[in-house]
Amino acid sequence: HLVAILATYSRMQALTRYQEDPSTTKHQKTLAELQYERLGNDLISHSQSALENIKNSRHTVSQKADTAALKGVFDAMVPRHKQNLSETQQERLQSVSLAINDHSHDINRSRGMTLGF
């Protein structure tokens, strides 16, 4: 799922450059906005799936590393692109972000407890 998230991010960046290109017509920009909405939905879906897969992992060290990777990618890309998404998508992204952060805190807390901290 992380690869799919990164691919979506790459497509979002390319679409942003296309929209900002002065030679892009108004009609093309409208079509690009629709595509951007689809990409936003893909980003949300892949992020939710990635988090669920991480949560289902039985290996705590893998969970911690995978959660950190997902959080890093998610935190790097969302601020750059969320202004181009609908309000509903922004709310869903915020929800996914909170879930990732909560899981990150939970996994770090449980890891600390198993080591006797």
pLDDT at 112 over 70: no
CA of residue 57 relative to chain centroid, distance: 19
Measure Cα distances from 42 to 28, 48, 68, 93 in Å: 21, 10, 20, 11
Q: Write down the pLDDT at residue 17.
A: 94
Q: What is the pLDDT of residues 3-58, one digit of tens each?
A: 999 999 899 999 999 999 999 999 999 999 999 999 999 999 999 999 999 999 88
Structure tokens at 49: 């799936």
Quote the radius of gyration of the chain (alpha carbons, Å). Answer: 17
Structure tokens at 28: 């093309």
Give the percent of the chain with pLDDT over 70: 93
Q: Write down the pLDDT at residue 10.
A: 93
Q: Could you give phi then psi for residue 24, rounded to 5 degrees?
A: -75, 125
Residue bearing the bigger pLDDT, 108 or 91: 91
